[in-house]
Amino acid sequence: MNERRRVVVTGMGAVSSLGNNIVDLWQKILNCEAGITKLGSEFKGLPCQVAAQLPREQLQIEKYLSKSDLKVMSRATQLCIIATEEALQTAKLDPKELNFDTLKRFGVCVGMGMFDLSEVYGAWQQLQKGYNRVSPFFVPRLLPNMPCGHISMRHGLRGPNHSVSTACATGSHAIGDAMRFIRNGDADIMLAGSGESCIDPLSIAGFCRIRALSTAFNENPSQASRPFDKNRDGFVMGEGAAILLLEDLEHALQRKANILGEILGYGLSGDAHHITSPSEDGTGAALAMIRAIKDAQITKDDVTYVNAHATSTPAGDRIEAQAIRKVFGDHVNKVRVSSTKGHHGHLLGSSGNLETVILIKALAANTIPPSLNIEELDKDICVNVVTKPEIWCHDSRKTRVALKNSFGFGGTNSSLCIASYIG
């Protein structure tokens, strides 16, 4: 049997409420800053009045996209394009300079959790004025696979063109699927991730109706997202995009790429329980983690950090913490845990990929990112939660291994096993 191909990360790009590039994002994580602010007047009367909104004035969209691009692309697609440009730049890989044979093995796996509901509402309003008022780009702007399609067309990438839409697990599933395309020999290079931009009154109202959003900190937005804290009362919606460039290790070494980290394993599972709530025993989350560890061909004792999905909901955080304890058993006291959603909110389908970017920066910097706003740890959170940046390992030459969890409505679960790369 041939030796299994190894998959590494050589480029990353991100747009979020913490900034429009990786450098700003990571620095604000280390500074324990939150990008959560008050919503505008159009949200008046809704129970939730906070969100992690993009600093739109800093985006410089015109630098990347033409007016005709803006007509055919949804907001989420636009953000994916911007994040892709940074990922290619940090990877020092320009598709225009690649030959056709290389482009045939260069693919895209980018998804979207849900489209912007204001697009649908706006099109409906136009239809009331007449059929011809509906934009011919209405349907293409909504399709979840369009970020993937536009990236592929923009750069002439003819490898796998695959889109994922699995609610809040979308970004992690996209990375895991892309890793498997490379491992299985379907591609040598993959752009992977997701984008999300649906902070609109209808979306906020919908999530309020299922009592998912925080409403207790409307006057203190920066404190609203508080994973694992006793007084957490729901998640804070965020928006943004994050794209990673994955490569076959030999391909990366051949072109002398700077290797940022390695994707070791990928685990998936289903809760088979409820449309929005995880089962109390945390079996689905535990199965995803166990399968990621097995796929990575390591043992649970090799893992020293879990970047949790924990969104700041009362049930979800507790159940995930119990699942982590179940998976690691006696080793759990040596595993540190944090969720960075206190910094950037919950980006729905773009949360797992943004947090993977943060995790890979953490691996490279040998620093564990903190959970914000923990004034009193919930007594039912039975894991070692990190509340300020910590040195990961005192021997920086030692390989560091972590899990990145993502769970979505419908009971869909993903866990990635990621390690620092020691050449």
> Is residue 168 among the annotated active site residues?
yes
- Pairing, β 261-270 against β 7-15: antiparallel
CA gap 290, 244 in Å, rounded: 24
Instruction: Single out the catalytic residue among 148, 168, 198, 417.
Output: 168
The CA distances from residue 92 to 12, 89, 228, 289, in Å, are 11, 5, 39, 33
Residue 95, both tokens? 């598709």
CA gap 329, 348 in Å, rounded: 30
Alpha-helix residue ranges (DSSP H) falling in 92-165: 100-103, 117-129, 138-142, 146-155
Give the residue among 190, 197, 193, 195 at the shortest CA–CA distance from 171: 193
Q: Which strand (E) or helix (H) includes residue 171?
A: helix 170-183
The answer to whether 182 and 9 are in contact (CB under 8 A) is no
Judged by DSSP in three states, 405 sits in strand
Start-to-end CA span in the chain (Å): 24
The answer to whether 20 and 78 are in contact (CB under 8 A) is no
Residues in the chain: 423
For the chain, give me the number of helices (H) and strands (E)? 14, 15
CA gap 78, 405 in Å, rounded: 26
Residue 4, both tokens? 């299994």
Strands of 133-236, DSSP E: 161-162, 189-196
Residue 282, both tokens? 């945390």
Residues 6+ apart with CB under 8 A from 268: 173, 176, 288, 291, 412, 413, 414, 415
Q: Which residues are catalytic?
A: 168
